[in-house]
């Protein structure tokens, strides 16, 4: 028996991995930051029958297409890593898209998993499901105890619905659907779109472009824009148009300006480690291991994180140092900060036998090298 909070304990026993090496495993969203990391981890561990479909090949918003896919492939296990995601600006701007698309993806994949007898499913949510003012570090039982952060409320509600859908299917039908809530992730195949990316990859790209602008290296800037256009603009336009575009995102010859005050604290986890935790959970943990006590069953999801945080300002200064940028760094306090602190309590995850290894300074160096190489 392992106690993970003052009021609950879980039972964990060492056992052989649940998944067979030749089992049909569907990774929904296998090209994204999360899904690609899970796919690679499964391959490295010897799983030989992986199924992945691009968005063009399978639209997860289309119920008929999802039904046809499950009927044809009949996967044994499912990792639901597909989602419509973005940073604070995207979440606050495209509120309808974030709740509508994510609810539909979840409904279609979880519903068809049940209909076609999937043995086990892992649903990936986000720690934004927790109340804005939750006690830190945030335990799993903080869910639904307070108001959500306004800027990402639609996305959070969709993820809460997915978590509760897994829990409800388990309780009514005896399925084995596990929900995990990763902290802020970064790593290979991250989204560096200046309009929609999360905070860490956005800062990596902004500081990199600011360095190029500081050094008057328009060749590097054009190469970057050709690879990842901003608002449809590539590096084929004139210098003055590039300068005007970058200024819109706080990147100028005088320095780089980031959103908010820089004071909020955030926790970051290397995506490949998140993937390792997810595969470990699918191999060794079942829903019955996560139920505790008697009566009402709630909060059986698992936080995945490091249990450590860093201020946005300190992260920005770490990125500046890593990239070698010598210009000015400032913050625009007129822009929203979001939740001031969001640190996960990873006691349950540790009790299940998994710990992170990559710290933020090593991770920033790794993601910057990946970005410039790609």
Closest to 264 (Cα-Cα) out of 147, 171, 149, 187: 149
CA gap 138, 230 in Å, rounded = 36
Determine the distance from the C-alpha atom of residue 297 to the mean position of all C-alpha atoms in its chain, rounded to a whole number: 26
261, burial (CB in 10 Å: exposed 0-12, middle 13-18, buried 19+): middle
Check 77, 155, 186, 371 and give the catalytic one. 155
Q: What is the largest CA-CA distance in the chain?
A: 67
Is residue 155 annotated as part of the catalytic site, yes or no?
yes
* Run of H or E residues at 98: helix 95-115
CA gap 339, 267 in Å, rounded = 12
Exposed e or buried b for every residue in 58-79, given b needs 16+ CB within 10 A? bbbbeeeebeebbeeeebbbbb
| Crossing angle for the helix pair 271-284 and 33-44, to the nearest 10 degrees | 60
CA gap 271, 63 in Å, rounded = 29
Q: Residues with catalytic annotation? A: 155
């Amino acid at each position: 028996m392992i106690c993970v909070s003052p009021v609950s304990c879980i039972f964990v026993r060492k056992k052989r991995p649940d998944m067979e090496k030749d089992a049909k495993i569907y990774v929904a969203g296998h090209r994204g930051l999360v899904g690609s990391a899970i796919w690679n981890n499964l391959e490295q561990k010897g799983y030989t029958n992986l199924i992945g479909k691009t968005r063009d090949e399978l639209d997860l918003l289309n119920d008929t297409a999802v039904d046809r896919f499950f009927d044809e492939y009949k996967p044994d296990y499912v990792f639901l890593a597909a989602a419509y995601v973005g940073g604070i600006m995207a979440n606050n701007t495209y509120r309808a898209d974030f709740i509508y698309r994510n609810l539909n993806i979840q409904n279609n994949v979880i519903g068809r998993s049940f209909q076609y007898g999937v043995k086990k499913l892992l649903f990936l949510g986000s720690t934004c499901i927790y109340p804005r003012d939750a006690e830190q570090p945030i335990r799993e039982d903080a869910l639904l105890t307070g108001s959500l952060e306004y800027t990402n409320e639609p996305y959070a509600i969709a993820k809460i619905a997915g978590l509760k859908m897994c829990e409800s299917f388990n309780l009514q039908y005896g399925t084995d659907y596990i929900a995990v809530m990763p902290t802020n992730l970064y790593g290979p195949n991250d989204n560096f779109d200046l309009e929609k990316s999360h905070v860490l990859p956005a800062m990596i790209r902004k500081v990199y472009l600011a360095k190029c602008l500081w050094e008057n290296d328009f060749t590097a800037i054009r190469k970057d824009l050709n690879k990842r256009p901003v608002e449809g603009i590539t590096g084929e336009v004139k210098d003055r148009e590039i300068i005007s575009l970058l200024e819109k995102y706080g990147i100028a010859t005088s320095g780089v300006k980031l959103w908010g005050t820089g004071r909020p604290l955030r926790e970051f986890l290397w995506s490949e480690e998140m993937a390792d935790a997810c595969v470990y959970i699918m191999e060794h943990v079942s829903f019955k291991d996560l139920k505790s006590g008697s009566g009402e069953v709630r909060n059986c999801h698992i936080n995945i994180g490091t249990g450590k945080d860093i201020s946005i300002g300190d992260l920005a200064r770490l990125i500046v140092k890593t990239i070698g940028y010598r210009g000015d760094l400032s913050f625009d306090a007129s822009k929203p900060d979001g939740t001031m602190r969001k640190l996960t309590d990873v006691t349950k995850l540790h009790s299940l036998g998994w710990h992170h290894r990559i710290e933020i300074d090593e991770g920033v160096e790794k993601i910057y090298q990946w970005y410039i190489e790609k």
